[in-house]
Structure 1
């Protein structure tokens, strides 16, 4: 039965590639990219073999611990466990607990993430090449660590099933978890200044982790290399116990979740029309209200609202590092270009709900205006802060006209371009209810090409305003600031009007194709 489950997983994987050429191409490119870093890690491990023994052991324990911790946390908050073989689908079959658990656990390796994880662990064996016994122990430890990665991922996900069944929890957790990832660059830059001090406590941390389920596997070859066979045997025994106990707990919780599945709570009842009562009773007003609900409640939009302000933190950090205010001045246009770019996937985010627009006889311009106005209303508070608040904080009010013009041009140009792009190009995005950071297999290439084209068009259209901002930054002549204010507002208004008009016409001529695309992208 275990072999049958593995065969079923393989056939599902292959059929998925046959169904979509983009999925196959994207998977190949992503796999090759990840394999490149695995090879680089292997090369690093090869040369690390010439370093002192304690350094090799500490690095191995820390890397393994980070990888296992990632497998435990990331699926819960971001992607979720691969449910190609959803356990709930087997509750009507006569399967023993052992067969189902082992089959699901091993099926995880029929896929790129788990396979690459195994290769990462195996690549670390090269650091022990001067000692064949340590290298042999490292190979065994790598296989056990790879098994532990799958067990931890499924154990934590199953344990959190009752909590993560709540969509609100998944939405908030996914967005909040992305915050430290965005700030990882500044954090690493700050830690680089204290690298020498970090080297002092790394061995201590590694020694502690070497007795935990995260780092004990990598510590076994470390002990063998030190000729401490008794300690290595003890760690091997404890690591096997860890693996067996965690696997048993997961198997037990898995059967419980199948027998007593979690039921999502009903949505909270809303009295009245809500935000629809606050907009004009027109087609574009209805679209505006619907788009505002997306921006305020849909995590796929909320993720953008969290990520965009974080760029200000990064810009402020770079300002403190360099002492130049230019990074803060350029942060505003980048932020608003990204906010306007957010609606370029509006049709894709609508999914099958897009049929409401196509079948209601709505004009294309009303659809475009509703989405554009909603985006502008959401961006308005941030626009006031960055265009007026930032100059006042820096103590230079002469920056206000320059920033108002530049930010307005960036925002309106990006909305105009996005209004055209979303009426012509769609791509696979996270479906309603999925993690806002989930990426569908095969969508990466098409999404990247589309997004690069949109961003390039935004840059070209904003070139006059960018040139004026550069002139003001170089000469510090207030005349350029007032010229930029006029040019930015006029160009932004033109780009918005043209974008809505052209996008509306394209939309009216492509209702059927876009409806078909939203279904195909699911």
Structure 2
């Protein structure tokens, strides 16, 4: 039965190539990327092991711990990922739970991330090729590490399944995940800066002593690896390095931690799966509607209905609200990054947010999913559809952009740049919105479905997304040349009059682009509405 489950997963993976062209392209690109990453890891591990086995052990311990952490946490954020072998589908087959667990664990490795993890773990064990006595332990370490990744991932997701069924929990979790991803860069930058400075006490007083960033990083990594090696995340991966150092007591202790952690994770998964098979989580209680919401605030017209629905999406759908949630974090990211480089790049926060908000409607029809059928069945015309999607972005985007521009000039102490930045930002918002309104009625690509995580990347969507974004970016950049050129000229020469010129030229070009873009998009929409619906419903 275990072999049958593995064969079933292999069959499902092979059949992925037959579903659609975009899925095939996406899977091929993901496979090539994973292969390149695995090759890089293995070559680096072997080279480091030949040069300095101690450094190889340090890197493998920390890298393995990050892999375990990723396997445990990413499925929680990307709920619903890889449900091809849903355990609930095997309830009626009376498969012993231990057999089902073993089959599901092995089948979990039959995927691009699973195969990449197995190959990277086995290849990294070759870092100890110069110490033949350690090599068998390195292979055991790789097996234990991969098992910890897979079993821990299944244990966490199965145990948290009741919470993940709650829509509100998923929405909050998704927004937190987006915020964490955005803040990773500034956090790493701050840590790297801190590692370059140490404090030394001299005669009772604290004296700051600057040390080499490389030395500080190595010391911090050694201390961190020493701690991680005694945790479930890094215990298995630290075994070869511990044996190579000749510390038999530490080796026995870390092996015990690795085995005990794996046994505990297996037990948690077993109990959680038994509970979910007997009492599967429901879809949660439906929320009680209170009033008309935004439908009561917009006019009772087709345009008002579309605008009200889109406004509701922006505030309640995590696929939209996640974009708004990271906006307050962008000034922090740019301010910290600018502080590290000495360049006040926080000044670009206004134009960047304006472009992001405008581009956000570039795939609105795909985000509608089956709800778009209502537009087609009611013969909603293209002008109503395009303006209904653009108005909410303008209503909250204009004051938001103005606030961010004012904040950026205050943080940098450059009030003289306010007119130019304000003109550039207020021009970029309608300009980007106009471009997105035009191309969104022609180019669609797969997106997470309603109720799914905004971090989930549907198969076949990566290439299409990059093409659409690149096309929109090039068109927007080309149309922004007048405003951008005047802004750079104003900043370079310190001519405030040119800044006021940007305040006139930027919005004028943006509004003109918005009017033309909506007109083009409306005509294309009227001609292709049934095709758009068919394309949206065909997305996996």
- 2:133 aligns with 133
Measured on the aligned residues, the alpha-carbon RMSD in Å equals 1.9
What is the DSSP-based 3-state SS (H/G/I as helix, E as strand, rest coil) of the residue aligned with 2:93? coil
- 1:114 aligns with 114
Query: Does the alignment pair 1:252 with 2:268?
Result: no
- 1:372 aligns with 390
Deviation at 1:7, TM superposition (A): 1.4
- 2:361 aligns with 343
How far apart are the structure 2 equivalents of 1:98 and 1:49?
Answer: 38
How many matched pairs? Answer: 521
How far apart are the structure 2 equivalents of 1:447 and 1:392?
Answer: 35
- 2:67 aligns with 67
Residue among 299, 306, 309 paired with 1:280: 299
- 1:179 aligns with 179
- 2:466 aligns with 448
Residue 81 of structure 1 contacts residue 153 of structure 1 at CA under 8 Å; is this kept in 2?
no
- 1:496 aligns with 514
Larger displacement relative to structure 2 (394-403 or 206-215): 394-403
How far apart are the structure 1 equivalents of 2:462 and 2:166?
Answer: 28
Query: Does the alignment pair 1:438 with 2:456?
Result: yes
Residue 61 of structure 2 contacts residue 238 of structure 2 at CA under 8 Å; is this kept in 1?
yes
5+ long unaligned stretches in structure 2: 196-212
Q: CA deviation digits over 1:158-213, x for unaligned, max 9?
A: 11111111111112112212223222222222333314334324333323322322
- 1:330 aligns with 348
Deviation at 1:368, TM superposition (A): 0.5
How far apart are the structure 1 equivalents of 2:115 and 2:82?
Answer: 13
Query: Does the alignment pair 1:8 with 2:8?
Result: yes
- 1:142 aligns with 142
How far apart are the structure 2 equivalents of 1:47 and 1:271?
Answer: 64
How far apart are the structure 2 equivalents of 1:380 and 1:177?
Answer: 26
Q: TM-score, normalised by structure 2?
A: 0.92
- 1:384 aligns with 402
Residue among 309, 315, 322 paired with 2:334: 315
What is the DSSP-based 3-state SS (H/G/I as helix, E as strand, rest coil) of the residue aligned with 1:440? coil
Deviation at 1:389, TM superposition (A): 4.0
Larger displacement relative to structure 2 (235-244 or 433-442): 235-244
- 1:103 aligns with 103
Q: CA deviation digits over 1:127-175, x for unaligned, max 9?
A: 2121012122111210121111110001011111111111111121122
How far apart are the structure 2 equivalents of 1:417 and 1:191?
Answer: 40
Residue 332 of structure 1 contacts residue 387 of structure 1 at CA under 8 Å; is this kept in 2?
yes
- 2:200 aligns with none
Larger displacement relative to structure 2 (424-433 or 377-386): 377-386
How far apart are the structure 1 equivalents of 2:71 and 2:411?
Answer: 42
What is the DSSP-based 3-state SS (H/G/I as helix, E as strand, rest coil) of the residue aligned with 2:448? coil
Compared with structure 1, are the counterparts of its residues 252 and 110 closer, same or farther at alpha carbon in structure 2 (3 Å cutoff)?
same
Deviation at 1:3, TM superposition (A): 1.4
What is the DSSP-based 3-state SS (H/G/I as helix, E as strand, rest coil) of the residue aligned with 2:282? coil
- 2:258 aligns with 239
- 1:225 aligns with 244
Q: CA deviation digits over 1:265-316, x for unaligned, max 9?
A: 2222122211111111211111110000010001001121123333322221
How far apart are the structure 1 equivalents of 2:290 and 2:79?
Answer: 34
Deviation at 1:497, TM superposition (A): 0.6
Deviation at 1:394, TM superposition (A): 4.3
Compared with structure 1, are the counterparts of its residues 43 and 472 closer, same or farther at alpha carbon in structure 2 (3 Å cutoff)?
same
Deviation at 1:393, TM superposition (A): 4.8
How far apart are the structure 1 equivalents of 2:517 and 2:249?
Answer: 72
Deviation at 1:232, TM superposition (A): 3.6
How far apart are the structure 2 equivalents of 1:328 and 1:252?
Answer: 50
5+ long unaligned stretches in structure 1: none
- 2:376 aligns with 358
- 2:199 aligns with none
**Pairwise mapping of residues 11-22 of structure 1 onto structure 2 (< 5 A)?**
11-22=11-22
